Structure 1
Amino acid sequence: MAKAKVELSTRIKGIWVPLLVVAVWEAVVRLGWVNPQVLPAPSAVITRWYQYLMPMEPFDPQGTMSKAEWIFSGELIHDMWASFYRVLMGCLIGGVLALPLGLVMGASQKVYDYMNPLVQVLRPIPPIAYIPLAILWFGLGNPPAVFLIALGAFFPILMNTIVGVRAVDSIYIRAARNMGAGSFLMFRKIIVPAAMPYILSGVRIGIGTGFICMIVAEMIAVNSGLGYRILEAREYFWSDKIIAGMFSIGLLGLAIDTVVDKLNNHLLRWHRGLE
């Protein structure tokens, strides 16, 4: 009970600063110090966000669409789902490719020596630089966007996995070998659990990088998603819709990060400092 009160008090404290920023922002626009066409007031952004969320057509009880289908037929819902799908697929592909490679590179000095030069050459190249090749290889639509997101998520997960494996205390490895543990058992029982905090940190960083790549890809290669909608709003100079789209990206990112954080706490509940 006391812990719940402390968490509630902490969350309430965290709300004051955003509320103050929003109040000052609203006042500045209302007083005419800023052109509302350039920086619309928060009230205008909320109004536009609500219009963006709601279905464009009124509900027809006699139509083929049910009430639930009508509620989720809004433009914002479709865009958020499209963006979420691309981030999910891209990060899954990037993680599935990066995790085994990182484990092997971290555990084997020979593999590390062979692969590290190539990794260090490719890692500094921003995923955005691959946009022309992605479009050339995959055309338009979801494939180039997923490719760019996977590329953005790949290297943070890879590097954190390598660091995590190489940071495993040698005492654990020697003790396991003395007890007759084979390579597979060593990986499953010693190396992977010990490296898990690093791996999960890489996943969170990879998801953040994937979001950046997702927005850029949607502005260039697809005709749906939050990035595409922000670019469309820019063409018509709808500043309120641009900010509403940015706010939606923040909400989507917060939801995904919350789920990943809960997963981290569950997988690392044995780790010191976590309950």
Structure 2
Amino acid sequence: MKAVTWKSVAEGAMVPLATLVVWQAVCSMGWVNAHVLPSPLAVAEKWWAYLLPLTEYDPASQSWLGWALSGELIIDSIGSLYRVLMGFLVGGVLALPLGLLMGSSNLIYRWMNPLIQVLRPIPPIAYIPLSILWFGLGNPPAIFLIAIGAFFPVLVNTIAGVRHVDGIYLRAARNLGAGRGTIFLRIILPAATPYILSGVRIGIGTAFIVVIVSEMIAVNNGLGFRILEAREYFWSDKIIAGMLTIGLWGLAIDAGVSRINNHLLRWHRGLDH
């Protein structure tokens, strides 16, 4: 895998920085209502207060009490990441073995595929009423929704990976006397790994989308909950600060998963060592 250079970082930062400059200029000129679209500086100030606000002035000592972590952004981020991780693990653990079975067995595929194709187009948010009815409020319904969101990308990609294994490899292995277990472990599983890891990457991204929706409905903390709370009070700057936090976490997670995928697939054709 090629190392990240300062040049590539600078090139990737050009468009975001230009967007911020134009955004700030538009807000500074008064072309938009500050309550509708706050400036980047106002958003940055709110984001900083969301993380590290200044405590109140103490009249007795006639001084500020100093900086102190509010814990709001940290607690919200931890809550969201916990739900993403747990929901993805539940969905992935269920999807991976089912996908391997459906991909390697035509009989199981014929049995399960009609049901999968009926359930797959249903968006996770459609399960919100049932999730609350079945699990109440709190983390369980949120994890249930996230698991559904992560389940199908992993399942579909796993099935595709197993079913797209080149038949030449399978016939060659059988001619050499390899058993079904050996063929599965030494040929099918390695060949399907790129598809599986692609499904994992998509599944984590979907889980991060679903967690925001679920937090707006069923829990009392998390980034999604905080955005909904800010909407109630018309705090546009805090809404955008929460959105940017989600984007940064999503970028970090995707970059981490991408690096793990590249490391695990360093043997795969087309990737640089």
| Distance in structure 2 (CA, Å) of the matches to 1:56 and 1:74 | 13
Instruction: Report the more deviating stretch, 179-188 or 149-158.
Output: 179-188
Moved over 3 A (4+): 55-58
- Amino acid in the other structure paired with 2:21: A
| Distance in structure 1 (CA, Å) of the matches to 2:122 and 2:50 | 36
1:79-228 to 2 correspondences below 5 Å: 79-228=76-225
Deviation string, structure 1 residues 124-180 (Cα, Å, up to 9, x no partner): 111100000000111100000000000000001100111111110111111222222
* TM-score normalised by the chain length of structure 2: 0.92
Residue 13 of structure 1 pairs with residue 11 of structure 2: yes
Q: Per the alignment, in what secondary structure is the counterpart of residue 31 of structure 2?
A: coil
* TM-score normalised by the chain length of structure 1: 0.91
**Number of the residue aligned with 2:24:** 26
Q: 1:273 aligns with which of 245, 270, 273?
A: 270
- Amino acid in the other structure paired with 2:22: V
Q: Per the alignment, in what secondary structure is the counterpart of residue 220 of structure 2?
A: coil
| Distance in structure 2 (CA, Å) of the matches to 1:78 and 1:184 | 46
Q: 1:245 aligns with which of 219, 242, 258?
A: 242
**Number of the residue aligned with 1:50:** 48
| Distance in structure 2 (CA, Å) of the matches to 1:127 and 1:89 | 16
Instruction: Report the more deviating stretch, 6-15 or 195-204.
Output: 6-15
Deviation string, structure 1 residues 214-239 (Cα, Å, up to 9, x no partner): 01100000000000000000000000
**Number of the residue aligned with 1:65:** none
- Please report how far the alpha carbon of residue 57 of structure 1 lies from its aligned counterpart in structure 2 after TM superposition: 5.5
Unaligned runs of 5+ in 1: 59-69
| Distance in structure 1 (CA, Å) of the matches to 2:271 and 2:199 | 19
Q: 2:228 aligns with which of 228, 231, 240?
A: 231
- Please report how far the alpha carbon of residue 55 of structure 1 lies from its aligned counterpart in structure 2 after TM superposition: 5.9
Q: Per the alignment, in what secondary structure is the counterpart of residue 160 of structure 2?
A: helix
Residue 78 of structure 1 pairs with residue 81 of structure 2: no
- Amino acid in the other structure paired with 1:45: V
Indicate if the aligned counterparts of 1:55 and 1:75 stay in contact, CA closer than 8 A.
no
Instruction: Report the more deviating stretch, 220-229 or 187-196.
Output: 187-196
Indicate if the aligned counterparts of 1:98 and 1:157 stay in contact, CA closer than 8 A.
yes
Instruction: Report the more deviating stretch, 133-142 or 252-261.
Output: 252-261
Indicate if the aligned counterparts of 1:90 and 1:146 stay in contact, CA closer than 8 A.
yes
- Please report how far the alpha carbon of residue 7 of structure 1 lies from its aligned counterpart in structure 2 after TM superposition: 2.6
Percent identity among equivalent residues? Answer: 69
Q: Per the alignment, in what secondary structure is the counterpart of residue 131 of structure 1?
A: helix
State the number of aligned residues: 260
Indicate if the aligned counterparts of 1:138 and 1:144 stay in contact, CA closer than 8 A.
yes
Indicate if the aligned counterparts of 1:55 and 1:74 stay in contact, CA closer than 8 A.
no
Instruction: Report the more deviating stretch, 8-17 or 38-47.
Output: 8-17
| Distance in structure 1 (CA, Å) of the matches to 2:82 and 2:190 | 29
Unaligned runs of 5+ in 2: 57-67
Q: Per the alignment, in what secondary structure is the counterpart of residue 268 of structure 2?
A: coil
**How well do the aligned residues superpose, as a CA RMSD in angstroms?**
1.5
**Number of the residue aligned with 1:61:** none
Deviation string, structure 1 residues 18-76 (Cα, Å, up to 9, x no partner): 11100000000110000010000000000000010126758xxxxxxxxxxx75x6210
| Distance in structure 2 (CA, Å) of the matches to 1:208 and 1:56 | 34
- Amino acid in the other structure paired with 1:86: R
Deviation string, structure 1 residues 163-215 (Cα, Å, up to 9, x no partner): 11111011111122222222222221111110111111111111111112101
Q: Per the alignment, in what secondary structure is the counterpart of residue 98 of structure 2?
A: helix
Indicate if the aligned counterparts of 1:154 and 1:206 stay in contact, CA closer than 8 A.
yes
- Amino acid in the other structure paired with 1:155: F
Residue 35 of structure 1 pairs with residue 36 of structure 2: no
- Please report how far the alpha carbon of residue 258 of structure 1 lies from its aligned counterpart in structure 2 after TM superposition: 1.4
| Distance in structure 2 (CA, Å) of the matches to 1:123 and 1:15 | 37
